[in-house]
Amino acid sequence: MSKGKFAIGALIGAAAGFATGILTAPKSGKETRAELAAKAEKVKAEAAKKAEIAANKAADFSKDAKIKAQQMTEKAKSEAMELKERSERAVEGAKKGFFDKDK
């Protein structure tokens, strides 16, 4: 089971347990509603905080991936240029050797 699915299941289970506990507690309706509203606000704030953290991590990952892609592109270009230059030198050397034999 993935960590994400487990976390979602745990969160849903905790919410269900909490709701069951609140609804069966010997409190007045007004007290229960007030407590539910306060807990819902707390859960909402925690969820927003975790969503922000996840978004920041995703942005960091994306930034790192772009940097690595640029580095790899530059390396590939550099190696391709070096190979081209070596090939050109080899061709020039072969031409020179070929024409020098005729003399």
The predicted pLDDT at position 67 comes to 96
- pLDDT tens digits for range 28-64: 778 878 888 898 899 889 989 999 999 999 999 999 9
pTM of the model: 0.48
Spatial separation of the C-alpha atoms in residues 46 and 28, rounded to whole Å: 27
Spatial separation of the C-alpha atoms in residues 55 and 61, rounded to whole Å: 10
- pLDDT tens digits for range 7-35: 788 878 888 887 777 677 676 778 878 88
Break the chain into its structural domains and give their ranges: 3-101
The predicted pLDDT at position 73 comes to 97
For 17, residues 6+ apart whose C-beta sits below 8 A from its C-beta are none
